Amino acid sequence: MKRLMLVCLVLVHLHAGAAPPGAIVLWPGAPPGGAAPGPQRDSAKGSITQVDQPYLIAHRPAQPNGIAMLLVSGGGYAHIEAGKESGPTANWLQAHGVTAFELVYRLPREGGGVAAPFQDGQRAMRVIRARAAEWGIDPARIGMLGFSAGAHLVGMTAVQADAARYAPVDAIDGVSARPDFAVLLYPVLTMQAPFDTTHAKKELLGAHPAQAARDALSVELHVDARTPPMFIAQALDDPISPPENSRLMAAALRRAGVPVELHQFRHGGHGWGLGKPGSEPAAWPQLLLAWLQAQGWMPQPAG
């Protein structure tokens, strides 16, 4: 009997349904290209799969300072690690006056195809910018922040903001999807050998993709002078995403004359979210605040 009750509780949790109350649904109808056939699954630790309707979770401060950030968790494009990444970071940003939005996006092998997460990233930026006045946001101070594979989604949105990834569905799609700045944390960015060992590459391209397919989804190959400024942080001992991802991206940005701040921690591994207290990566939130203030996006601290 106890085992049966436990199974029932797990099933109720896993099949909790689609967007939670108060979520901002991205598409007015079915998303382009389709979606997962079943109800969304949410694990006890905040890992999300089976996204049938992409949405935003808004974290609005009592006194917004005008800046907004769209947060994209990783998970190798196989799941979304919101519980460890976007959730805690959104709460931290909210405490600093930033209006933060967590993106719950479709995964490429769950019905929407390879284009699905990038469609959702574009649409999310457009929704936030289109409703900026309603939320007390400056439409010229909207950034994106991504973790791991989420940083790949952020990167692709930043370097190809105007790509026609879907047919326009309403007036919102006439709004720019370009982030004003981008933050890439322990990022997956390149699909080029020998750095193509990530699960994100496998989910997007399979085992033996054509070179053209690799090039199309290698973020660093699409950087140009219109690419927004970027803040990048990664540990040199990252066992999941080779540190060359950050180095290649920073080099491409510098060649294009785009401002970039790169932080490489000696130790830290992968998937650190806000960073374990006392660890090297735990410095990134304050480093990011200083960068945002220096660039003029965040107000300088009083005094």
Long-range own/partner contacts, residues 286-290 (CB < 8 A, 24 or more apart): 287/231, 287/233, 287/261, 287/263, 288/183, 288/231, 289/96
Tokens of 197: 């060992």
- Give residue 209's pLDDT: 95
What residue has token string 């040199």? 236
Other CB atoms within 10 A of residue 181 CB: 21
Residue type, 170: D
Pairing of strands 47-49, 80-81: antiparallel
Tokens of 206: 């399979």
pTM: 0.92
Other CB atoms within 10 A of residue 119 CB: 22
d(CA 88, CA 223): 30
d(CA 66, CA 23): 21
Q: Which residues contact 155 (CB under 8 A, 6 or more apart)?
A: 146, 182, 184, 187, 189, 219, 249
Tokens of 68: 């907004």
CA distances from 86 to 56, 71, 158, 220 (A): 11, 6, 18, 24
Other CB atoms within 10 A of residue 140 CB: 11
d(CA 284, CA 185): 9
* CA nearest neighbour of 156 among 116, 195, 202: 116
Q: What's the maximum distance between 2 C-alpha atoms anywhere in the chain?
A: 65
The tens-digit pLDDT sequence of the chain (303 residues) is 333 333 233 333 333 446 788 899 999 999 999 888 878 888 878 899 999 999 999 999 999 999 999 999 999 999 999 999 999 999 999 999 999 999 999 999 998 899 999 999 999 999 999 999 999 999 999 999 999 999 999 999 999 999 999 999 999 999 999 999 999 999 999 999 999 999 999 999 999 999 999 999 999 999 999 999 999 999 999 999 999 999 999 999 999 999 999 999 999 999 999 999 999 999 999 999 999 999 999 988 765
